Structure 1
Amino acid sequence: MADENLHVVLRARPNPSVTAGLFEPVAAGMPSVGDGQFLIRVIWLSLEPAMRGWIAEAANYATPVPLGSPMTGFTVGEVVESRHPGYPVGTIVQGRQGWRRYAVSDGSDIDRKVDPALAPIATAVSVLGINGATAHVGLVEVCDPKPGETVVVTTAAGAVGSMVGQIAKRLGCRTVGVAGGPDKVRACLEEFGFDAAIDYKATPDLGAALDAACPDGVDCFFDNVGAEQFDRVLERINVGARIAICGTIGMPSFPLPVGPRPNRQLLIKRARMQGFLILDHFDRYAAIIDRLSDWHRAEPFRWREDVTDGLEGAGAALVRLLSGNNAGKALVRVGVDP
């Protein structure tokens, strides 16, 4: 192989912030391929807000990434050498190879094969991948929206939130997005088709802005943030509202924050609130992606990408994502598309 292998390893835990210095690029040897294995050239690396929790000292839903090990992450890559009959050379795969240029797999860390004719292969970790599937599970299965209902989404211009809005519109709902900054609000309205959008950074009274955008209250709430945005939306839920908790990027991971207690509001509105992880639904991942792909063929989804070139810049790109300074799905281009 002409290219050299590279890993980016986790060297320290956040204390308390995530910084680029927590990650170190390390030269690595090219792995050998045994029987039943294949070599993947990683092309795209997906960055997720959840990575903040993956590297924290205290475990949440997953064992923390060990210090000195390559950082974990979802990837899209090309099979460049194979001794596995199910993955011939040239196959495009979406898997969990992490922050590496090259990785050997036996198929156990592969989520699916990717059809490059359907859409650019980077979408396999965004709208037609983990982000689209997350939006589908949280909105369609947890919130179960009905035509005509009002759906509110936080981080509405983000990789997941923008898909929630687009799926909700296809299901006949009225969509209201909450985002930070005029460019993201414009994207919600002009690119992702939200009926209304609120710039929480420029709104002195978020509650009043929600009242104006949701005159009939809130039936479904897809939350990626927590904190004040969650509190203000919760005050406006309708009887029988459904709330999906996808992320808490607006709050510290540890110690657990104390804020308004939702018990009374959930009781009097007979509302249902449920947290979910897409990892719990991987037994149906292929079926979910098939449905999203059918929708995309009928009417293409829209998306934004915030691309960092080079695996060495992945740490800094993650910091930018966690600070909300990205403009679209955060991706690292590790190699060239085939």
Structure 2
Amino acid sequence: MSTIRIPEVVPSPAQDCETLHKSCEGWGTDEAALIRILGCRNAAQRKLIRDAYQQIYYTSLIDCLSEELSGDFRKAMILWTYDPPERDARLANEALKSRRKNLTQLQVIVEIACATSPHHLVAVRQAYASLFDTSLEEDIISNVSLPLQKILVSLVRSYRYDKEVVDSSIAKTEAAKLREAVQAKKLDDDELLRILSTRNTFQLRKTFQLYKDNYGTSIDKDVIARGKGIVESVMQVVIWCLDTPEKHFAEVVKASIEGLGTDEDSLTRAIVGRAEIDMIKVREAYFNANRSSLDSAVIGDTSGYYKDFLMTLLGSKI
């Protein structure tokens, strides 16, 4: 479900490094060449390029991109070039250190905890500790107040079984427990958090389905019906990321381009983060919700090399 276009014949990492190095030499930068190479390589290939660049030129490719590029294009290109766990660790740290702890920042933590694989979450936590000399959990505790702190720590500590195993009787029982907590407006309830932070996503989707079947409304709508605060909004994102992450990221893209101005950070995060995971499904979800294409929305709200790079990750031929 990746949208990036990897060429049938991929040059060696050394060859790619030579082209990248030449693109940054002399007067001006060949941004199109950078996009053509890095935008058309998967995570494993980008790692080989980063390692080879360091060995050949005794300098970091990330540092080179930072020096040569600017603006939203630079940020997007650097995020894409990072190893995915390091990328998410840096995004999490940036969100937690932000003075404003609104939904835009806090949903970054939820996405990492709930819309990625258990193995990726472990790798992000390891990268976070290595980069920042503290744990992701410690920084959540230091920077987020209760009850959101309790919710987020429970989620990032989880390690879900990632196989398709579903027990309908457990799903029915736990749907009732979720309903009880939601009705009581206890979104940091221990049982609710145990269910959401430990059950595999297939089990949770069955639980959410039975919740709707048994109580006549979906759990995310039930949560929002209990209040319009930040806790309810974050819990809605938790449910979306566990149940249908493609719908969540389609909403992130939509929110980033609505109104006056564009939230480039959110738009970049959504496209860079999902291009190798489920961007085809995000595209479909966006179209189903808005009756217009995600590609057209990106083209209409971005420009220059930033637009070209995002469209390359979306699979367009620039």
TM bucket, shorter chain? 0.3 to 0.5
Normalising by structure 2, report the TM-score: 0.34
Structure with a larger share of its residues in helix:
2
